[in-house]
């Protein structure tokens, strides 16, 4: 029996790191951002985005400039809603398909959905448990500045379109603190994985 874990938490909290540790323990990881990136390469999605925002959000190679599009839509709530209208049904359908494949006979013991909008998109309904990755705002902002070059206001603009972190934390089955060293994080995540494998048998 496959146990489906939904990862949630603030931007830059380390959800992908937690997902990577679970992957090392044999979990199948479904990365919503990666699903989006693949869909952005399809003719249908590129045409829908080009119809709305024009060629300015595409690079010389004809591929979508995701960073440029994000800068536009996260400064325009109506634009973000329109983009979500294009993307969310397709992303959800793909993730539903992958979760179903995990639940097939001989599937992995654990399946992880790493999705920034887990609750907001309704993907939480596919999960047996949720885990909130906790990290203070200053650390998250520093990580995003170093890894993605984001300014603090970019983090705030994106999180303004998500459910409050306190609510996500309160409804989670597990809280994983990610402000210490990697070894401590790994130990905690591996304990949770072992527990879920045991209860899922």
For residue 154, what pLDDT is reported? 81
For residue 117, give its domain range. 3-200
This prediction has a pTM of 0.89
CATH number of the domain where residue 174 is located: 3.40.50.300
pLDDT along the chain (201 residues), means of 10: 92 94 94 94 95 93 92 87 93 94 80 92 94 92 86 82 90 92 93 87 56
For residue 49, what pLDDT is reported? 95
CA 29/CA 199 separation, integer angstroms: 19
The string of DSSP letters for the chain reads: -PEEEEEEESTTSSHHHHHHHHHHTT-EEEEHHHHHHHHTTSHHHHHHHHHHH-GGGB-TTS-B-HHHHHHHHTT-HHHHHHHHHHHHHHHHHHHHHHHHHHTSTT--SEEEEE-TTTTTTTGGGG-SEEEEEE--HHHHHHHHHHHH---HHHHHHHHTTS--HHHHHHH-SEEEE-SS-HHHHHHHHHHHHHHHHHHH-
For residue 200, what pLDDT is reported? 65
CA 154/CA 149 separation, integer angstroms: 10
Domains: count for the chain: 1
């Amino acid at each position: 029996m496959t146990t489906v874990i939904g990862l949630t938490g603030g931007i830059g909290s380390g959800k992908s790191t937690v997902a990577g540790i679970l992957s090392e323990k044999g979990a199948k990881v479904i990365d919503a951002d990666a699903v989006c990136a693949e869909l952005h390469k399809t003719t249908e999605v590129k045409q829908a985005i080009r119809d709305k925002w024009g060629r300015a959000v595409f690079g010389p190679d004809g591929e979508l400039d995701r960073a440029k599009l994000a800068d536009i839509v996260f400064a325009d709530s109506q634009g973000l809603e329109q983009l979500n209208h294009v993307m969310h049904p397709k992303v959800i359908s793909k993730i539903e398909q992958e979760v179903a494949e995990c639940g097939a006979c001989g599937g992995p013991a654990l399946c992880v959905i790493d999705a920034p909008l887990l609750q907001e998109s309704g993907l939480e309904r596919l999960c047996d448990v949720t885990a909130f990755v906790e990290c203070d705002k200053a650390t998250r902002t520093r990580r995003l500045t170093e890894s993605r070059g984001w300014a603090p206001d970019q983090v705030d603009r994106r999180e303004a379109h998500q459910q409050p972190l306190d609510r996500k934390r309160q409804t989670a089955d597990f809280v994983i603190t990610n402000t210490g060293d990697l070894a401590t994080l790994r130990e905690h995540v591996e304990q949770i994985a072992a527990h879920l494998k045991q209860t899922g048998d």
